[in-house]
Amino acid sequence: MSDLNQITSKSLVQSIATDNLGDLLGNVAETAIDALLDEGIVRDVPIIGTITGLLKAGWDIRNRLFLKKIAIFLSKISDASAEERKKFAARFENDEDCRRFGEAVLLLLERAEDMEKPRIIGRIMRVAVEGHIDLARAMRLSAIVDRCYLQDLDHLPKFEEGPKVAERKTVVEALQSVGLLSTAGFDGGDFSQKPLKSGTIYVMNEYGEMLLKYGLSDDA
């Protein structure tokens, strides 16, 4: 394990377990996070302080956008209680487990092409912290979000099962390809319908349902 991987992975797990995480980041608007980074307040969050220090030391870490993604992610995790977060973090006492978890999450956050995906992934991980879903499902669902074109996710709450007309088919096929929808046979259609609705039948699977329930709403 490289020193950098070990440092950042442990810092992420420590951040999840930070007592006052909610006070530092909870319900902070995206614009306010920029101010907090400038003022240095959130450096009390271990992963933020660690990466800020590495930047000063000349490590090749991306830019402040990466710190912002981490802060947004942790702001969603902070909705879980301190007791739940500490219990969750305790499972990573083994260095190898800590490294694998920390690296996986940080890579997902680094690859995010906007600030909404860290927010969605943070919500998903929060419900894993709270025990509503197991960690394996949370990581798989987070990886699915990573592979999604973000605007396609806007169509998920409006999805209706069945064959799709041409103008919706591209989005539906994309959601199916990343693992949020499944196919359930073929419908020849009713020729009295205009336009004709025929073709592959799409249905929402358990990961699509989990993303709707836990990832796309702050009310989860």
Rounded mean pLDDT of 90-113? Answer: 92
Burial tier of 11 (Cβ tally within 10 Å: 0-12, 13-18, 19+) = buried
Per-residue confidence at 1, pLDDT binned at 50, 70, 90?
very low
Per-residue confidence at 161, pLDDT binned at 50, 70, 90?
confident
Q: Is 97 within the bounds of a domain? A: yes
> Which of 109, 129, 147 is the last residue before a domain boundary?
147
> Which of 119, 147, 175 is the last residue before a domain boundary?
147
pLDDT tens-digit profile of 115-141?
999 999 999 999 999 999 999 999 999
Query: Is 0.95 surpassed by the pTM of this model?
Result: no
Task: Give me the count of residues in the chain.
Answer: 220
pLDDT score of 200? 75
Are both 91 and 160 inside the same structural domain? no
Per-residue confidence at 196, pLDDT binned at 50, 70, 90?
very low
pLDDT score of 191? 47
Of 122 and 96, the structure prediction assigns the larger pLDDT to 122
> Which of 125, 147, 169 is the last residue before a domain boundary?
147
Rounded mean pLDDT of 65-85? Answer: 92
pLDDT score of 4? 60
CB-based contact 186:201 (threshold 8 Å): yes
Are both 17 and 71 inside the same structural domain? yes
Are both 137 and 172 inside the same structural domain? no
Q: Is 24 within the bounds of a domain? A: yes
The total of structural domains in the chain comes to 2
Are both 141 and 155 inside the same structural domain? no
Q: Is 134 within the bounds of a domain? A: yes
CB-based contact 156:180 (threshold 8 Å): yes
Q: Is 65 within the bounds of a domain? A: yes
Are both 17 and 123 inside the same structural domain? yes
Q: Is 219 within the bounds of a domain? A: no
Residues above pLDDT 70, as percent of the chain: 78
pLDDT score of 133? 96
Are both 22 and 88 inside the same structural domain? yes
> Who's near 210: CB < 8 A, 6+ residues apart?
124, 133, 137, 141
Are both 120 and 161 inside the same structural domain? no
Note the maximum CA span of the chain. 70
Burial tier of 79 (Cβ tally within 10 Å: 0-12, 13-18, 19+) = buried
Q: Is 54 within the bounds of a domain? A: yes
Answer yes or no: is pLDDT of 199 > 70.
Answer: no
Are both 72 and 168 inside the same structural domain? no
Q: Is 220 within the bounds of a domain? A: no
Are both 87 and 163 inside the same structural domain? no
Q: What average pLDDT does the structure give for the chain?
A: 83
pLDDT tens-digit profile of 40-49?
667 778 888 8
- Its domain, for residue 12, covers 3-147
Which range among 5-14, 23-32, 119-128, 197-206 shows the weakest confidence by mean pLDDT?
Answer: 23-32
Query: How far is the C-alpha of 26 from the C-alpha of 82, rounded, in Å?
Result: 12
Are both 69 and 11 inside the same structural domain? yes
Are both 138 and 35 inside the same structural domain? yes
Query: How far is the C-alpha of 176 from the C-alpha of 190, rounded, in Å?
Result: 24
Angle between helix axes 82-90 and 116-129 (nearest 10 degrees) is 80
Are both 135 and 170 inside the same structural domain? no
pLDDT score of 51? 78
